[in-house]
Structure 1
Amino acid sequence: MDLEVRHLRIICAIEEAGSLSRAAAALRLTQPGLSTQLRRIEGMLGGSLFDRTSSGAVPTPFGEVVLTRARAVLPTIDDLLGTAALAARGTGCFRLGSINSPLLGGVIAAIRERHPGGRITSRGQSSPNPLLDDIAQGRLEAAVVGDSPGYELAHRAGMVFEPVVTEPVFVALPAGHRLAAQEQVELADLAGEDWVSPPPDDDRTREYWHGVFLTTGARMRTTHEAEGRLLLELVRSGHAVSLCQATFEEVPGIAVRPIGGDPLWYRHVLAWHQDGPVAAIGPAVVEQARAAYGRAARRSAAYRRWSERTGAGRVGTGRTAERQGRDAPRP
């Protein structure tokens, strides 16, 4: 993981607030989530940035060195980003962001249809919150984001959130796993498993997963932190199981199964600024994003079987699980 501008903002916010709890409130994070982020930043930089005391967080000598440079560089970065944002307006440039989701292709197609001469760029992000910050500050025109029940995205002034679809969360198992032969897996049957999960981030997805898992009377034992190909390899090689999106396509060595009772849900959302260029074509963008989701749903054999068995709706409409998602239990 590389050091990002948002990491510099986090450590400056901690110094300004004087404690992790006050900084977490200002950043709209939980204190455990902020503590996890700080440990990751310190790991990247190679030293402790703050001494945690009963009265707050005080920069270490190493932290003072880092903070001095962070305070010096952030205004220059903000000026650069602000200038770029102003320059991009009115030029037919559409800068898009997306978390891991099957919607981005549909968003690009919708914009390209209506702005054939426009320049479209995109970038991925593991958490929705930095993408929302970028929309608010004019660095992105729109983004594909998402949230979990009970951990919905916080409202931001001037921003439009348009839900696209809510889907169940499935489990990815090694193909030779004892549960892979079943049509669906009960959450309680996974209690003794080793899990591989993405590193904790400020969207609190891991917190949601763990909270739901605790309803079985057991803890979700995350022994590996990974994402992308490394996560898949750990599952494929039989070292762990993982949660995955319902549209995830089975690959050799990995079996995807629904979880009995659908205890976990995820909502895909499109976000844009109400005064930005996407606002005028928002309904069309949402429609094409739903179509992209529908195509992804049809490619997933596990999702098709789940839909047929539960009567959730015709896979391919992009609306397969919307009703169930609204009724999904809160942790």
Structure 2
Amino acid sequence: MDLELRHLKTIRAIADAGSLTKAATALGLAQPALSAQLKRIERTLGGELFERGRFGVRATALGEFVLARARIVLPAVSGLQEEAERFSRVWQDRRGFRLGGTHGPLLGGLVDRLAAAYPDHPVSTYTSWSERDIAAQVADVRLDFALIGTCGASTPPESERLVWREVARDPVFVMLATRHPQAGASEVELGELAGEAWTDVPGDGCFGDCFTAACARAGFTPSSVYETDTASCVHLVQVGRAVGLCRATFPPTEGIVTLPLAGAPLYWRHLLGWHPETYAHDTAAGVLGHARAAHAAAAARSESYSAWLASPGADVG
């Protein structure tokens, strides 16, 4: 027989009552049944816990040892149960949305739509360049949803613990200064930019390797790639220091045009992920719908992307 919490409660009840008869009454048991249970507990623990006498029972040295531990373990377990129940009530009552996302317009669009659709439910955000960091926080239930991207058909992080659904699939565009020689084109061949420096936001996926491979297929190796924040990428493009890689939904920006690469050699999948064993699973369909609507709105705001989508044979992946 394995020792259980109920056995420790029985031992404590006997010690508090001072007799098996009184303890049996307090526990709602018949005295013979309690005596038989105590014997089984004593066999499990390797010796007698109480000395029986005319006036009741008294703990043995082993009994005192076990009681000392029981008086620590039982309140700790009771406190754990109370805290867990309190946490569960708060969690269920909160019913908000804790979103984690990489930097980009899609996260802002989703926040706006959720706040409008659920005005009584708080929406909070966490942003990181690391898709793995965001996914790990959702897997550990510190966030409810992950809104991230993956390059091509690569597997998203934490795929064994999270449910992932595709929000949208976009070609990767280039950002050029409005005075760039290619700025007026409808699309740009990657090889035509062989002599340029490049800029892009950082990440921990395979996008950098995929870009290098696409350049190799186009017959060149990038001279330099500046990985930095979005504002710095925009500045480097505006002043003509580099051309940028961006999502097709990149919003209109002064001094910059965004254009598709011919043949869509690179593409990006927007993904929504959640833990299947939390309440987020019950709201995931609605959140996914709002994420797709936010993406559609972002795509509609980009003239170059709208034109690409309307072009014959527009497809990625």
Q: TM-score normalized by structure 2? A: 0.67
CA contact 2:97–2:123 (8 Å) conserved in 1: yes
* Structure 1 Cα separation of the partners of residues 196 and 110 of structure 2: 37
Do residues 263 (structure 1) and 255 (structure 2) align?
no
Q: Return the letter of the residue paired with 2:251.
A: E
CA contact 1:106–1:285 (8 Å) conserved in 2: no
CA displacement, residues 97-142 of structure 1 (integer Å, 9 cap, x when unaligned) = 1113433345435654675432221121112110000011111011
CA contact 2:200–2:246 (8 Å) conserved in 1: no
State the Cα distance separating 1:229 from its structure 2 match. 1.0
* Structure 2 Cα separation of the partners of residues 156 and 185 of structure 1: 35
- Could you tell me which residue of structure 2 aligns to residue 152 of structure 1? 155
State how 1:275-294 maps to structure 2 within 5 Å: 275-294=277-296
- Could you tell me which residue of structure 2 aligns to residue 129 of structure 1? 132
Task: State which of 177, 192, 205 in structure 2 corresponds to 1:189.
Answer: 192
- Could you tell me which residue of structure 2 aligns to residue 246 of structure 1? 248
CA displacement, residues 39-90 of structure 1 (integer Å, 9 cap, x when unaligned) = xxxxxxxxxxxxxxxxxxxxxxxxxxxxxxxxxxxxxxxxxxxx9xx57632
Q: 1:115 to 1:296 in 2, by over 3 A?
A: closer
Larger Rg: 2
* Structure 1 Cα separation of the partners of residues 212 and 257 of structure 2: 22
State the Cα distance separating 1:214 from its structure 2 match. 1.3
- Could you tell me which residue of structure 1 aligns to residue 102 of structure 2? 99
CA contact 2:144–2:275 (8 Å) conserved in 1: yes
* Structure 2 Cα separation of the partners of residues 105 and 133 of structure 1: 21
State how 1:41-52 maps to structure 2 within 5 Å: none
Q: Return the letter of the residue paired with 2:241.
A: H
- Could you tell me which residue of structure 1 aligns to residue 33 of structure 2? none
Moved more, 204-213 or 300-309: 204-213
State the Cα distance separating 1:155 from its structure 2 match. 4.7
Q: Return the letter of the residue paired with 1:181.
A: G
* Structure 1 Cα separation of the partners of residues 259 and 108 of structure 2: 25
CA contact 1:158–1:275 (8 Å) conserved in 2: no
Task: Indicate the SS of the match to 1:166.
Answer: strand
Moved more, 101-110 or 159-168: 101-110
State the Cα distance separating 1:297 from its structure 2 match. 0.6
CA RMSD of aligned residues (A): 2.2
Q: TM-score normalized by structure 1? A: 0.64
Moved more, 265-274 or 206-215: 206-215
* Structure 2 Cα separation of the partners of residues 109 and 235 of structure 1: 29
State how 1:1-331 maps to structure 2 within 5 Å: 89-90=91-92, 91-108=94-111, 111-112=114-115, 115-199=118-202, 201-310=203-312, 312=314, 324-325=315-316, 328=317
Task: Indicate the SS of the match to 1:134.
Answer: helix
State the Cα distance separating 1:223 from its structure 2 match. 4.5
State the Cα distance separating 1:157 from its structure 2 match. 3.1
Q: Return the letter of the residue paired with 1:282.
A: A
Q: 1:177 to 1:114 in 2, by over 3 A?
A: closer
CA contact 2:105–2:251 (8 Å) conserved in 1: no
CA displacement, residues 161-217 of structure 1 (integer Å, 9 cap, x when unaligned) = 011110001000111111112111001101111112234x32222122112211112
The total of aligned residue pairs comes to 230
Q: Return the letter of the residue paired with 2:255.
A: G
* Structure 2 Cα separation of the partners of residues 228 and 140 of structure 1: 24
Q: Return the letter of the residue paired with 2:219.
A: G
| Unmatched segments (≥5 aa) in structure 1 | 1-82, 313-323
State the Cα distance separating 1:235 from its structure 2 match. 0.4
- Could you tell me which residue of structure 1 aligns to residue 35 of structure 2? none
* Structure 2 Cα separation of the partners of residues 233 and 152 of structure 1: 32
* Structure 2 Cα separation of the partners of residues 124 and 140 of structure 1: 11
Q: 1:116 to 1:99 in 2, by over 3 A?
A: same
CA contact 1:92–1:117 (8 Å) conserved in 2: no
CA contact 1:173–1:236 (8 Å) conserved in 2: yes
State the Cα distance separating 1:309 from its structure 2 match. 1.6
* Structure 2 Cα separation of the partners of residues 284 and 93 of structure 1: 13
